[in-house]
């Protein structure tokens, strides 16, 4: 695996690859890698010639400076993990490299997508996400980019940005990777105790209930029952739970057979904010 820290070095490497008409896939990450991240690279491998993974803890998408400070950065372990799945290129820039002085202001009209759910609870977060992803897209110029379904709203936001900017980049959405018991893998899980991880399974229990009864019960009844599952565990503090249309993430009132739906949940366990979702079929 080749490792680059500057834009110039990375572009020199990629220009030669592009001249050979090879398919380039970008996997953007913030490091602290786990099986979920590695699944993105394994998912992309059969569909690409060259896999580029970026590790960059992006300051513009954190609302809380303490959260940014606490974000884990186990770089030696990350490199070893990427080598274990035969990643081709790792790009690890500094903050100064990605945000030089006099960097232009960034704003993109995401409609309601950055005002609801994660957008409401983390103001400015998706502006920061789209800002760094757009920078990486312009730099790497990939044919496709791989993102995890776990951050479902983020994928929809990036798709909106791709559409607005008319980028010729295909988004690959990789299914959620879970522990044996069903907990969605996340870098934040490292901050949970063994008991906390058990309590966190309440999230997938509530989502599974919705999936199993979707189309058989009304949406208000589904949400009420799922909220009762969460309320039965005092160690879990619900932030939001909703059944939404996949594209707009607008809350659904009833089921339209022509649309696709997703159940979204965010809850707190042991002071750790956990997000999860499940795709619903009818």
Residue of 37, 125, 213, 282 with catalytic role: 37
Strands (E), the chain: 2-4, 24-29, 50-55, 89-91, 144-148, 170-174, 236-245, 261-269, 272-280
CA distances from 62 to 68, 71, 128, 200 (A): 6, 10, 8, 23
Between CA 101 and CA 172 the distance in angstroms is 33
Q: Is 37 a residue of the active site?
A: yes
Crossing angle (nearest 10°) for helices 152-165 and 125-140: 60
Between CA 163 and CA 204 the distance in angstroms is 32
Residue 282 per-residue DSSP state: -
- Residue 23 in contact with residue 144, Cβ under 8 Å? yes
- Catalytic residue positions, numbered: 37
């Amino acid at each position: 695996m080749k490792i680059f820290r500057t834009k110039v070095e990375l572009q020199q490497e990629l220009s030669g690859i592009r001249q050979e008409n090879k398919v380039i896939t970008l996997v953007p990450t913030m490091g602290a890698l786990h099986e979920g991240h590695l699944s993105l690279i394994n998912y992309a491998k059969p569909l690409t010639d060259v896999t580029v993974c970026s590790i960059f803890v992006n300051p513009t998408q954190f609302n809380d400076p303490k959260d940014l400070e606490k974000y884990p950065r186990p770089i030696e372990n990350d490199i070893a993990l990427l080598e274990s799945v035969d990643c081709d290129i790792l790009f690890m820039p500094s903050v100064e490299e990605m945000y030089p002085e006099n960097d232009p202001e960034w704003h993109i009209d995401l409609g309601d997508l950055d005002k609801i759910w994660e957008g409401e609870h983390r103001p400015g977060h998706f502006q920061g996400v789209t800002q760094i992803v757009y920078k990486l897209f312009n730099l790497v110029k990939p044919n496709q980019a791989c993102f995890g379904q776990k951050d479902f709203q983020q994928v929809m936001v990036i798709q909106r940005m791709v559409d607005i900017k008319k980028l010729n980049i295909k988004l690959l959405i990789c299914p959620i990777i879970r522990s044996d018991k069903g907990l969605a893998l996340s870098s934040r899980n490292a901050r949970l105790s063994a008991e906390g991880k058990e309590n966190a399974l309440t999230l997938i229990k509530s989502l599974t209930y919705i999936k199993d009864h979707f189309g058989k019960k009304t949406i208000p009844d589904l949400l009420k029952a799922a909220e009762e599952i969460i309320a039965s565990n005092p160690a879990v503090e619900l932030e939001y739970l909703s059944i939404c249309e996949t594209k707009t993430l607008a809350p659904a009132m009833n089921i339209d057979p022509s649309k696709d739906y997703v159940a979204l949940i965010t809850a707190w366990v042991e002071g750790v904010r956990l997000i999860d979702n499940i795709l619903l079929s009818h």
